[in-house]
Amino acid sequence: MALDLNDPELEFSDLVYAYQSWVMAVINDEKLDSEEQLLTDDIAEDALNSMRFLPGEVTSAIETSLARVYDVDADELAELLFPEE
């Protein structure tokens, strides 16, 4: 289910969910010993689209809280999410 940014029903929580799903998929695929790979092109695309509308404080809070939940170092998570930076 790709985000439709033109959908008048699209809510802030949909953007948060899209970004959160991406962060969780990256953690799952890169840090957990999971057999199933969760990251898809659709998840990554939705996250990139949602980042255009989410304040940095929100994306940072999502990353920080998920890093804590999954016991991943925050700096290491940043490297996994944004390897080119």
State the Cα–Cα distance between residues 80 and 83, nearest whole angstrom.
6
pLDDT recorded at residue 85: 63
Please, which residues have CB within 8 angstroms of residue 17's CB and are 6 or more apart in sequence?
Answer: none
Percent of the chain topping pLDDT 90: 82
Tell me: the pLDDT tens digits for 35-75? 999 999 999 999 999 999 999 999 999 999 999 999 999 99
Angle at 20 between CA 9 and CA 83, to 5 degrees: 125
Mean pLDDT of the chain, nearest integer: 93
pTM for the whole thing?
0.91
Which pLDDT value is given to residue 1?
Answer: 59
